[in-house]
Amino acid sequence: MDSIVLGDSREADSYPKEPFHLTVTSPPYFVGKNYEEDYSYEEYIQLLKDVFTNVVNNTVEGGKIAINIADIAAFSKVSGEIEEGIEVSRILADHMKEQDCRLMSRIIWHKDDPWQNSQHVGYHDGIPATYTRVLPNWEYIWVYYKGESPKRPDLPIINVGTEDERVLSVTDSISKEDWKKWVSAVWYMRSVASNRDHSAKFPEEFARRLILLYSVEGDTVFDPFLGSGTTAVASHNVGRKFAGIERDPDYHKLSTTNISQAVNANTIEQSYVSPQRWKQNKMF
């Protein structure tokens, strides 16, 4: 199943017919981006609840749901109506529990420094004393599993060092060196520098890591907020099937272009937009 739907992920009808094994996604953060302007705060919270209810309903038992979210919506100009410091991922955590999901991992994505481009801080004359805000240069990734156990009934136990380890990824097992980096909860990774085509992409490496950790070759990986198609591209590049939903026609078109490029590329490196982008997406 490889399917990219132009639709609204709040609607159960937009979802693929077959269940998926892993979701890797980043919802809107309610910070005033063009693609979320039409949501009131109440509608935004309801969006998260409706979409993740649908996601859980379409996930296999023991399947994983990885949600990247910046957590606090209250630092945005559009959120003046919101109580300071509201924690969106806490609301989401309560909701996931109600959907019979349990927390497996909480990862902190440590991004590059925000002060260089932010209009919220400045090191120059005319700043009032004691006025410095400390800016978040990190976001969360919450990984949930569906049901009572994170063990998928359809998968074997891995014996590291034997042929069986090949179930971990498409060509080889996750190396011990990568494993050591990936099981530590702070992941250092640059955010995507060029936002000309989409204003809030995550790096392909970000999706790739989650896919290698939480799915096996041949699984289906889903993204209900597909944007530019990063999750689908990363899934294809490591031998997974993909499915996604995007409601904006321009972003939907962008995602299909990016996916076609990945599907037609012969090597992983070629499937990135450019060698420059490949470098940007790698760890520091």
Ligand X SMILES: C[S@@+](CC[C@H](N)C(=O)[O-])C[C@H]1O[C@@H](n2cnc3c(N)ncnc32)[C@H](O)[C@@H]1O
Binding residues for ligand X (CB under 6 A): 8-10, 26, 28, 35, 47, 198, 200-202, 225, 227-228, 230, 245-248, 251
* Minimum distance from residue 87 beta carbon to ligand X (Å): 18
* Minimum distance from residue 231 beta carbon to ligand X (Å): 6
The residue with tokens 């959120």 is 79
Amino acid symbol at 184: S
* Minimum distance from residue 8 beta carbon to ligand X (Å): 4
Which C-beta is closer to ligand X: that of 152 or that of 201?
201
Q: Do 77 and 109 form a contact (C-beta atoms < 8 A)? A: no
What is the number of the residue whose Cβ is closest to ligand X? Answer: 227
Q: What are phi and psi of 79, to 5 degrees?
A: -100, 25
Which C-beta is closer to ligand X: that of 174 or that of 245?
245
Count of positions (residues) in the chain: 284
DSSP 42-84: HHHHHHHHHHHHHHHHTEEEEEEEEEEE--BGGGSGGGTTSPT
* Minimum distance from residue 248 beta carbon to ligand X (Å): 4
* Minimum distance from residue 61 beta carbon to ligand X (Å): 25
Which C-beta is closer to ligand X: that of 144 or that of 202?
202
**Alpha-carbon distances, residue 213 vs 66, 82, 200, 217 (angstroms):** 11, 36, 23, 11
Which C-beta is closer to ligand X: that of 162 or that of 274?
274
Which C-beta is closer to ligand X: that of 173 or that of 211?
211
Contacts 24+ apart (CB under 8 A), 86-89: 88/29, 88/30, 88/45, 88/48, 89/140, 89/142
